[in-house]
Amino acid sequence: MARYALLKLLYAIPTLLAVLVLVFVLTRIIPGDPAQLILGDQATPEAVAALRAQLGLDKSVALQFLDFLVGVLHGDFGTSIVSGQSVVSLAAGVLPATLELTVASLLVGIVFGVPLGAWSAMRRNRLPDIAVRIGSLVGLSLPAFVFGILLLIVFAVQLGWFPVISPSGEVGILERLRALVLPSITLGILMAAYITRVTRSSMLQVLGEDFIRTARAKGVPWWQVVRRHALRNAIIPVVTVVGLYLGVLIGNSVLTEMVFNRPGLGKLIVGALAQRDYPVLQGLMVLYTLLIILANLVTDLAYGVFNPRVRFA
Amino acid sequence: MTDAPVLAVRGLSTQFRIGGAWRAATRNVAFDLFENQTLALVGESGCGKSITCQAILGLLPHGVARVEGSIRYRGRELVGLAEPEMEGIRGSEIAMIFQEPMTALNPVMPVGEQIAEAILVHRKCARAEAKAEAIAFMDRVRIPAAAQRYRDYPHQFSGGMRQRIVIAMAMACKPKVLLADEPTTALDVTIQAQILAELRDLCANFRMSMVFITHSLGVVAAIADAVAVMYAGEIVEMAPVEELFAAPKHPYTQALFRAIPRVDENAEGLQPIPGQVPPITAFGEGCRFAPRCPARMPRCTGPTPRLAGAPGSGHAVACYLHHSETLDAEAAR
Amino acid sequence: MNAPETLAAPPRAPWARLGLALWRTATANAATAIGIAAFLAVVVLAVGAPLFATHDPLDQDLLARLVPPSPYHWLGTDAFGRDIWSRIVYGARISLVIGLVAVGIAMVIGSGLGILSGYMGGWVDQAISQATNILLAFPSLILGLMVVAFLGPSVPNLIAAISLATVPQFIRVARAPTIALRERDFIQACRALGFSPLRIMLRHILPNIWPEILVMGSLWLATAIRVEASLAFIGLGVKPPTPTWGGMIREGFEQILTSFHLAVFPSLAILVVVLALNMIGDGLRDALDPRMKESGK
C-alpha cells in the first residue's frame, strides 16, 4: 500500500511540472506589457520599469521560469501588487472556508448520490428510476450559479431560513453551519447528479454479475446482497468518478462563493481579476493545481482501499 | 428406492418474457432425486438445464421469469414460497455451485469471509466460530494453508482453487442437496478430474444428493447414478446411468453418443447432429427434436410425446418409437 | 465480447447507424425527442434573432427600468431598461457560436490526435496520452478561467480556452476504439494493400468511430455552453453591452433582492439548452452502446 501511494505521488510530479509550465506560459503571453497593464496608461515609464524589475520581467524568459520554479518549490507563490501580502498568506486566510465548502458539498453529493443511484438501479425502468434519471440530468445541467441563485431566492430571500450573505469573522459553529447549508447544497447537487448516474450504471452492471447469484444461492437476504456484495463493488467506479469531479467541484466553488458572497479562494480569484493583480492570479492558479493534484492523489489512494485488486498489485 | 425422494420435481415449466410475450424455456420437467443420489442433467447449451436449477432455488428474476409446476423438497413445496423462507432454504438445505469460478466470487471480499458469510446467514453463531468452520471447510476441499489464505481475495487464487472455494461455500451449511451447474466445464482437464473426485467424496461423506449439470457424457459416466437427458427445455430420456449407456433409446440420446469422439474409431465414425436447437421463440407443438430426428414419423409433429417407460424399469423416454406399449396400456385403462 | 461486434458493422454504415440511432432513440425515448426539439428551437431562435426579438437588445429605455414581465416586455427589462427577451434571443447566438465553434475545433483536433495516437502507438501515443492526462486533470472551468484571465475576454479567446479544455476529452474518446480497430481484419487488409496510414485513418477508421465522437460532442457542447456562461458570470465573458446569458445573470444578480426576473430568465435559458443537449447525448449514447441495448430489452 505504501509503495502504491509512493508510486502515485511520483506520477503526480510530471503533471505538476507541466501545469507550472502552462501557468508560466499563460502569464507570459498576455498581450502587452504586464507592468503597463497593471499600472494603467497614465503610469510614468520609470514606474513601469521599476515594476518590471520588481516582477523580474527584465530577465530572460528562461531565468524568469527558473525564478518561478524555485519560488514555488520554496512555497513562494508571489506577492500581491495591490495589498503587498504574499499569495500564500492571502490564500491561507480563506483556504479553510473553501475546503469546508468543498468537503460539505462532497458529503452532500455522496449522501444523496449513492443511495439514489442504487435505488434507481434496483427499480430499473420503473417510476423511481425514471424520476431519479431525469432529476440527475437536470442536476448536472444546472450551472452552479443558476441553482445557487434559485436557492438563494427561495430559501434566503423569500423564506429567510438561511442568511443571504455568509457571515465573516468569528461566529459560532451553529451560525457557520447554517451559512454552509445553501452553498454546499448548491455545489453538492452537481456532485450528487454525477454520483447518482455513475452509481446507477455501475450498480446495474454489478447486479448482473455471477457473484451476486452466488451470494443469493447461499441464502443471503436480498438487502444484504445489495449492501455487502453489490454496493461494495459498485462503489469502485464511483470513487474514480468522485476523484475526477473533485476538480469540477473545486472549479465550481468559485461560482458558489460568488453567489453566496462567501470568503474563499474563488472570491480571491475574482477580486484579483477585477484588480488585475496578476501575481495573485498566477499564484492562485498554482495553488488550485496543487489542490486538484492532491485531490487526485487522495482519490487514487481511496481507490486502493476500495479495490483489493489494486492494493496487492 | 423405497424412501421418499429428497427433491421431487413435477411439471416444472419456466417462461421468460421476451419482447412482451411469454416464451417457455422449459416444459413439463419432472424428476426425483433420492438421498445420496447423483442425477446428471445432460444436454446442449441452452436446453434449460441451468434454468431448471435456478428455478429450484428460486433464483430466476421476478417479472422476467415465471415458474409453474411443483418442486417439493422433503415434501415442502418450493414453488411460490415467500422470499424470506426461500432464503432459509438456499445454502442451508439446497446449495448451488456455478460454472465460472472466475466470476462466481465477490472480488472485493476475502474468500474466507465469503464462506463464513454462508454459515452466518443460516446459523446464530460467533464470528470466530464461523471463521474456524470456514477454515475447516477450506481445508476439507484441500486448499493448502487454509488458515493463512482466509483473508486472501479471489484474484489471488487459480481457477481450480476458486472452484474449491465455491464448493466449500456451498458445503458450509452441510446442505442435503447440491445443484452443480457445470462446475468443471471452465477448468483444465486435470483439475476437472480432481474437482469431480472431490464432489463425489463430499456427497458420500455427507450423504448429500446432487443434481449435476453437464454437457459431457464422459463426466456423466464419472459421477452420476442416474441421467436425465434434456433437449430444448424438456427431459427426453431418463434412466440409471448404466442402462442409459448400455441402451440409449431416444434418437437424440443416441445421436449424442454418436457425437462423442472415440479413440478406437477414426474420425469418420463421428457423426455431428444435423441442424441446431430451435430458438426459444420457435417452440411449437410436437416433439422438439423432430426436425433433426433421423427416425421422424408423421405423428411426431402431433401432440407432444410424454416421458414414459415400461412400469418399474426406471428407464423412461419421450419418443413415439418406444411408446406403443405404455400408451396402449394407458388407453386400455 | 460485444464491443467488437458493433465495430464489425460495415465501414460505410455509420451515417445510417447514427441516423438510425437518432431515430430509434427519438421514437423510443421521449426525453431525447424533447431534447432534439428544444435544441432545434433554440437554434432557430438564435439564427432568426432579428425576427424573434421584440426590441433592439442594446436599446436602453431609462424610463422603463426593471419592469416586470408584461405584454410589451415579455420577460421584463433590466437595470438599463433593455428588453430581456430580446437579449436572451441575441444572447443565444453568443452561447451557440462559442459553444459550437469551440467544440467543433476541439472535436477536429482531438479526434485527429486521438486516432493518430491510437493508430500509431509507440512514442507518439505515449506523448499524446501523457499530455492528455495532464489536461484531463484540469476541470474545464479552471482551465478556461486561467486562459481567459490572462488572454482577456474576447470571443476568440473564449473559444480557445474552451477548446483547450475540451480537446483531451475527444482524444480519449477517439483513441480507445482506434486501438481496437487497428487489430481488425479489414484494417489489416488495408495495410496489406499498401494504403497510406493517413488514408486508413481518414477513410477507414474515422467513419467507424465518429458516431461515438458525435455523442461526446453533444455532451461537451452542453458543458461548453455552461462553462461560457460561468465565465461570463465571473466577469470573464464577452464584454458588455453584448448580451450573453452568463453576463445577464451577473447583472441581474445585483438586483436579486428586488427584481429576480433579471437573473431567472437567462438562467432558464441556460438550463433549457444544457438539459436538451444532455438529453440528446444520453439518448444517443444509450442507443449506440451495445451493452445498454442488450440489457435494455
Q: Give the nearest chain A residue to C220 (CA atoms).
A: A141
- B161 and B130 fall within a common domain: yes
Report the residue of A24, A145, A190 to disrupt the C interface, i.e. the one with the largest count of C CBs within 10 Å.
Answer: A145
pLDDT value of position C291: 47
- pLDDT averaged over every residue in chain B: 85
Q: Give the nearest chain B residue to A305 (CA atoms).
A: B108
Measure Cα distances from A103 to A142, A150, A171, A178 in Å. Answer: 20, 22, 20, 15
User: Does B64 contact chain A (CB < 8 Å)?
Assistant: no
Please tell me the distance from the alpha carbon of residue B127 to that of residue B132, in angstroms, as a whole number.
9
More confident residue, C170 or B324: C170
**If you search the block for the grid coordinates 413439463, which residue do you land on?**
B28
- B156 and B50 fall within a common domain: no
User: Does B24 contact chain A (CB < 8 Å)?
Assistant: no
- Residues of chain C short of pLDDT 70, as ranges, are 1-18, 21-22, 24-28, 289-297
Q: Classify residue B311: in a domain, yes or no.
A: yes
Q: Give the nearest chain A residue to B154 (CA atoms).
A: A309
A45: Cβ–Cβ under 8 A, 6 or more apart, which residues? none
Residue B260: how many other CB atoms lie within 10 Å = 13
A6: Cβ–Cβ under 8 A, 6 or more apart, which residues? none
Cβ A219–B118 below 8 Å, yes or no? yes
pLDDT value of position A85: 86
Q: Which residues of C touch A281 (CB under 8 A)?
A: 149-150
More confident residue, B329 or B176: B176
- B83 and B227 fall within a common domain: yes
- Residues of chain A short of pLDDT 70, as ranges, are 1, 30-32, 34, 166-170, 310-313
In total, chain C counts a number of residues equal to 297
Angle C162-C168-C170 from CA coordinates, rounded to 5°:
95
SS (H, E, C) chain A: CHHHHHHHHHHHHHHHHHHHHHHHHHHHCCCCCHHHHHHCCCCCHHHHHHHHHHHCCCCCHHHHHHHHHHHHHCCCCCECCCCCCEHHHHHHHHHHHHHHHHHHHHHHHHHHHHHHHHHHHHCCCCHHHHHHHHHHHHHHHCCHHHHHHHHHHHHHHHCCCCCCCCCCCCCCHHHHHHHHHHHHHHHHHHHHHHHHHHHHHHHHHHHCCHHHHHHHHCCCCHHHHHHHHHHHHHHHHHHHHHHHHHHHHHHHHHHHHHHHCCCCHHHHHHHHHHCCCHHHHHHHHHHHHHHHHHHHHHHHHHHHHHCHHHHCC
The CATH number for B261's domain is 3.40.50.300
Report the residue of A209, A214, A216, A238 to disrupt the B interface, i.e. the one with the largest count of B CBs within 10 Å.
Answer: A214
For residue C225, the Cα-to-chain-centroid distance in whole angstroms is 7
Instruction: Decide which of B174, B200, B216 is a domain's last residue.
Output: B174
Cβ B117–A220 below 8 Å, yes or no? yes
Please tell me the distance from the alpha carbon of residue B49 to that of residue B22, in angstroms, as a whole number.
19
- B167 and B192 fall within a common domain: no
Q: Which residues of B touch A236 (CB under 8 A)?
A: 108
Q: Residues A2-15: pLDDT tens digits?
A: 777 777 777 778 77
pLDDT value of position C28: 66
pLDDT value of position B266: 62
B326 falls in which pLDDT band (50, 70, 90)? low
For residue A32, the Cα-to-chain-centroid distance in whole angstroms is 32
Contact by Cβ (8 Å): A178, A102: no
Q: Give the nearest chain C residue to A13 (CA atoms).
A: C134
Neighbours of chain A (3+ CB pairs under 8 A): B, C
A217, A224, A309 member nearest B59 (Cβ): A217
Q: Classify residue B2: in a domain, yes or no.
A: no
Measure Cα distances from B252 to A113, B44, B47, B230 in Å. Answer: 54, 11, 13, 9
pLDDT value of position B265: 59
Which domain does C39 fall in, by range?
Answer: 14-58+72-294
pLDDT value of position A140: 85
CATH match for A96-311 among 1.20.272.10, 1.10.420.10, 3.40.50.1100, 1.10.3720.10: 1.10.3720.10
A29, A140, A258 member nearest C234 (Cβ): A258
Q: Which residues of A touch B65 (CB under 8 A)?
A: none
User: Does B149 contact chain A (CB < 8 Å)?
Assistant: no
Residue B87 DSSP SS3: helix
Q: Which residues of C touch A30 (CB under 8 A)?
A: 150-152
Contact by Cβ (8 Å): A146, A190: no
Cβ B155–A308 below 8 Å, yes or no? yes
A217, A222, A229 member nearest B106 (Cβ): A229
Scanning B39-188, the segments in alpha helix (DSSP H) are: 49-56, 83-89, 111-122, 127-140, 146-149, 159-171
- B166 and B269 fall within a common domain: no
**ipTM of the predicted structure?**
0.82
Q: How many domains does chain B have?
A: 2
User: Does A267 contact chain B (CB < 8 Å)?
Assistant: no
Cβ A218–B57 below 8 Å, yes or no? no
pLDDT value of position B238: 92
- B53 and B195 fall within a common domain: yes
- B107 and B38 fall within a common domain: no
Q: Give the nearest chain A residue to C225 (CA atoms).
A: A143
Please tell me the distance from the alpha carbon of residue A128 to that of residue C113, in angstroms, as a whole number.
41
- B115 and B238 fall within a common domain: no
Q: Give the nearest chain A residue to B115 (CA atoms).
A: A218
Could you give the count of Cα atoms lying within 13 Å of B64 in the half-sphere of its Cβ? 12
Show which of residues 191-220 on chain A sit within 8 Å of chain C, judged by CB atoms: 204, 208
pLDDT value of position B45: 78
User: Does A208 contact chain B (CB < 8 Å)?
Assistant: no
Which among C276, C282, C294, C277 has a CA at the least distance from the CA of C25?
C282
Backbone angles phi, psi at B179, to 5 degrees: -100, 115
Residue B226 has pLDDT above 90, yes or no: yes
Cβ A146–C282 below 8 Å, yes or no? no
Q: Classify residue B197: in a domain, yes or no.
A: yes
pLDDT value of position C1: 36
C285 to chain A nearest CA, in Å?
Answer: 13
Q: Classify residue C218: in a domain, yes or no.
A: yes
Q: Residues B102-130: pLDDT tens digits?
A: 889 998 899 999 999 999 999 888 999 99
Q: Which residues of A touch C275 (CB under 8 A)?
A: 137-138, 141
Q: Which residues of A touch B153 (CB under 8 A)?
A: 308-309, 312
Q: Which residues of A touch C274 (CB under 8 A)?
A: 141-143
Report the residue of C129, C141, C255 to disrupt the A interface, i.e. the one with the largest count of A CBs within 10 Å.
Answer: C141
Q: Residues B267-303: pLDDT tens digits?
A: 566 677 777 777 766 666 788 888 888 888 888 887 8
A302 to chain B nearest CA, in Å?
Answer: 14
A213: Cβ–Cβ under 8 A, 6 or more apart, which residues? B54, B59, B98, B104
User: Does A121 contact chain C (CB < 8 Å)?
Assistant: no
Q: Give the nearest chain A residue to C132 (CA atoms).
A: A15
Cβ A138–C275 below 8 Å, yes or no? yes
A258 to chain C nearest CA, in Å?
Answer: 8
Please tell me the distance from the alpha carbon of residue C125 to that of residue C23, in angstroms, as a whole number.
36
Q: Which residues of B touch A209 (CB under 8 A)?
A: 103
B331 falls in which pLDDT band (50, 70, 90)? low
Give the pairing type, strands B234-240 and B316-317.
Answer: antiparallel
pLDDT value of position B165: 92
Q: Which residues of A touch B91 (CB under 8 A)?
A: 217-220
- B197 and B284 fall within a common domain: yes
Q: Which residues of A touch C257 (CB under 8 A)?
A: 157, 164
B95, B117, B156 member nearest A312 (Cβ): B156
pLDDT value of position B325: 54
User: Does A151 contact chain C (CB < 8 Å)?
Assistant: no
pLDDT value of position C4: 39
Cβ B57–A217 below 8 Å, yes or no? yes
Q: Classify residue B74: in a domain, yes or no.
A: yes
pLDDT value of position C63: 79
Q: Which residues of A touch C152 (CB under 8 A)?
A: 30-31
A208 to chain B nearest CA, in Å?
Answer: 11
More confident residue, B62 or C227: C227
Cβ C275–A141 below 8 Å, yes or no? yes
A219, A224, A228 member nearest B90 (Cβ): A219
Neighbours of chain B (3+ CB pairs under 8 A): A
Q: Which residues of B touch A312 (CB under 8 A)?
A: 153, 155-156
User: Does A307 contact chain B (CB < 8 Å)?
Assistant: yes
Q: Give the nearest chain B residue to A235 (CA atoms).
A: B108
More confident residue, C290 or B36: B36
Which domain does B28 fall in, by range?
Answer: 7-93+175-331
- B126 and B264 fall within a common domain: no
- B156 and B251 fall within a common domain: no
The CATH number for C157's domain is 1.10.3720.10
Instruction: Decide which of B153, B174, B195 is a domain's last residue.
Output: B174
Q: How many domains does chain C have?
A: 1
Residue B3 DSSP SS3: coil
Measure Cα distances from C155 to A166, A251, C140, C161 in Å. Answer: 34, 21, 17, 10
Show which of residues 154-213 on chain C sit within 8 Å of chain A, judged by CB atoms: none
pLDDT value of position A300: 78
More confident residue, B309 or A65: A65
Q: Give the nearest chain A residue to B54 (CA atoms).
A: A217
Q: Which residues of A touch C254 (CB under 8 A)?
A: none
- B235 and B117 fall within a common domain: no
pLDDT value of position C106: 94
